[in-house]
Amino acid sequence: MKISKSITVVTLAFTLALGTTAFAQDGSMKKMKKEKMMIQTKMVGGAEMYPTKNIIENAVNSKDHTTLVAAVKAAGLVETLQGEGPFTVFAPTNAAFDKLPKGTVETLLKPENKEKLQAVLTYHVVAGKVSSMDLVKMIKDGKGKAELTTVNGGKLTAMLKGKKVQLKDAAGNISTVTIADVNQSNGIIHVVDTVVLPGM
């Protein structure tokens, strides 16, 4: 009788241990799947953008953002955008900068215009990590519009055109997000097709 009870207790303990191990493995599998989803890369400017790298480390590899990278360097903002953050960056492509009046970029890149350049670039940055889902929710909650406060203190108005998020700047210019949710180790990038400008 005692032997039978002992066997039952051992069997029960073994079953529970197996169940716990299976549960732990199942939990680990779910965690691994979640982590895999989180570290998916996106292609921007012909290069993979790695969520394990910071904003600058990724941006320098995009052939569509060479003007932006040059501007960030000229403005002395490299260290800032390599910082902990998190930051949300609306990153204009080279084609977006090409839309500006002729000579604008060259003028802004001059050392004497460093403060103006900083003002333009920080107008494309919002503190915190704001995903496209967050933006859409904010827009819907705001009955079609959401006001974003940028790092330079200026305001951007976010809205929807179909399924795409658009930004309206202080002058009423419209910029469209063409690639959303490019995750970075210190924030998130949304690629935009037009440079937004603060009231200058």
d(CA 199, CA 177): 21
Residues in the chain, pLDDT under 50: 1-25, 29-37
Q: Which fold has domain 42-192?
A: FAS1 domain (2.30.180)
**Residue 69 neighbours by CB distance under 10 Å:** 17
Domain boundaries, the chain: 1-38, 42-192
d(CA 48, CA 162): 27
d(CA 190, CA 3): 68
In angstroms, the Cα distances linking 154 to 45, 125, 167 are 28, 10, 13
* pLDDT for 168: 97
* pLDDT for 50: 82
DSSP bridge partners of 47: 44
Burial of 99 (0-12, 13-18, 19+ CB in 10 A): middle
* pLDDT for 22: 43
The model carries a pTM of 0.79
